[in-house]
Amino acid sequence: MSIIEWTTRIIKGNATGTGWITLPVELHIETSLGKWYDIKFTTNKKETFILTLKLLKQKNVWGFYIPKSLCTEHNLITQLVSLTLQPSEYFPTKISADKRIRLPKSVVECLNIKENELYEVQLNIHDKIFHEVVLITKIDRSSRTAADELYFTIRIQDIPTNTKVKVKMNKKLEQLISDKNKSSEDKVYLPNLFPDGVIGKLNHEKMILFLGNHKPVVTPILLDITDLIHYFGCYYADGTKSGYGWSISASTPEQAVYYIIKYKSIISQPNLNFQLTYTLRPSVKDDPPLIKKRLTNLWFEKAGVEISQDRVYILQSSIQHASEEIHYLSHNPIGSLRIIDNKGLTLELHVKLLRYVENFLIQTNNKNLLWQFICGVMEGDGSVGGGKKRCRIHITCKKSDKLVPKILTKLGIYQVYKEYVKGKNVLEISFGLIPILENILVIQKLLFKYYPKRRKTFIKRLLNLPSVLYILREREKLSHFALIPLKENSLLNDAILISRLKELRMELTR
């Protein structure tokens, strides 16, 4: 409709001092009762006011109530005013202390809003604009005489509360439901993981997921699992699987950068915080504040993560004497970073995706993908063994772990790996040279990729082995005992293997 103009007087709307502006009968055809309008009026004193008001009916007369406070402060009753009126995109209301906004009955009826629908809303609070996707919820008053009410809750942290707000219901979101036909062997349609969730389609790639009392998360609608196999191997080793929030540990800045990138490919609106744990050795005499400052600066420089110094925890080493430090080989000089998202739904999503990955790996015979997962596990639970004259790979896991042994069996190395019991609930799986050489393509690319010190140790030990030097034609003789497995597995004249080993050597010189 076009802008409506007319002139009238403000009269008393009731006995309390509230004002009333009457809408002429000839203008009824251009307006609708119960709808909200932006009204601008100017008094004969040249004062101008702009209000958003609902068109109401009082004793067969249509018009608008003017707030008592405004009428009293500016002595508006009986004043002649010139008005313009046009439909408002907003309706005025109040945001409560717990960030709830109740929907007026007129708005609910006009837009036919129902419980569990999702809307994009725009809020104007003191001329500051906020945007949010909200879930419509019902206040159940079935046990009382009052009618049910619909409302939504705002999740924006720094939004003002207990104040007036103008609300615009931008649009209703299309909802997504579980559909098994939209998943394939290597792609997961995320609504299938949450049949009880309320899921809105933000665009052709993204969705927003509401589930119970959890804060919602924004994720892709479709995820290619093959792009996440290695990451979920890392999460399998070092990520939380239960509790109130999601987290994963990074021992190096390279791991931290990689984990955050992959996390962001799943969670589109990241909300991360960081915690650093550092073990203090007896020989270190620096004061804790200096250590904290050095560590936070290092992690920011290397990984771009900002760690509050009150989130750096310094632990005392169990070593009693500095002379014992020679045996303290596992010490991490930069500490261990915990990457944290406190949303419970982030945790639940990761756990469901991990289970999906596990089922996928059990069913697939793709050795490349199986090795990707194992290399991911070894980012957290792997190590290089065998001493300076041998090269073995160790994986530490729980005795109850069935997945890692099952994958190693599928990879065909079940006959060569050995198990060592390290503790009551800890198992160490170890395998050596032949499986490493047979799977050099993926191992060269991914093994300890984000743990530079461990990767360098692995490459040095591998390239110094007599068998490897013989394969590279840098050693003329090899014992009969060492030569037999190389011949049996056709590893002596493998051009691809030789090329990959040379690339590893070049990597050491970079």
DSSP H/E element including 120: strand 118-125
Q: How far is the C-alpha of 278 from the C-alpha of 294, rounded, in Å?
A: 12
Question: Is the predicted pLDDT of residue 419 greater than 70, yes or no?
Answer: no
The pLDDT score that the predictor gives to residue 326 is: 42
Question: What are the tens digits of pLDDT across the range 41-56?
Answer: 999 889 999 999 999 9
Please, which pLDDT band fits residue 414 given cuts at 50, 70 and 90?
low
Question: What are the tens digits of pLDDT across the range 86-102?
Answer: 999 899 999 999 999 99
The pLDDT score that the predictor gives to residue 328 is: 43
Tokens 């969670």 label which residue?
267
Choose among 106, 105, 119: nearest CA to 150. Answer: 105
Tokens 């073990």 label which residue?
279
- Of 140 and 473, the structure prediction assigns the larger pLDDT to 473
Q: How far is the C-alpha of 482 from the C-alpha of 391, rounded, in Å?
A: 14
Question: Is the predicted pLDDT of residue 327 greater than 90, yes or no?
Answer: no
Q: For residue 167, give both structure tokens.
A: 């609300």
Question: Is the predicted pLDDT of residue 333 greater than 60, yes or no?
Answer: yes
Q: How far is the C-alpha of 295 from the C-alpha of 289, rounded, in Å?
A: 10
In the predicted model, what is the mean pLDDT of the chain? 90
Please, which pLDDT band fits residue 269 given cuts at 50, 70 and 90?
confident
* pLDDT (mean) for 461-483: 92
Beta pairing class for 312-316 and 273-280:
parallel
Give the whole-number percent of the chain exceeding pLDDT 70.
92
The pLDDT score that the predictor gives to residue 66 is: 95
Residues 108/152, Cβ–Cβ less than 8 Å: no
Please, which pLDDT band fits residue 145 given cuts at 50, 70 and 90?
low
Q: How far is the C-alpha of 413 from the C-alpha of 401, rounded, in Å?
A: 17
DSSP H/E element including 495: helix 495-509
Give the CA radius of gyration of the chain: 33
Question: What are the tens digits of pLDDT across the range 48-84?
Answer: 999 999 999 998 899 999 999 999 999 999 999 999 9
Residues 93/102, Cβ–Cβ less than 8 Å: yes
The pLDDT score that the predictor gives to residue 324 is: 46
pTM: 0.86
What is the DSSP track for 262-299? HHHHH-SS---EEEEEEEEPTT--S-HHHHHHHHHHHH
Please, which pLDDT band fits residue 140 given cuts at 50, 70 and 90?
confident
b (16+ CB within 10 A) / e for 395-418:
bbbeeebeebbebbebbebeeebe
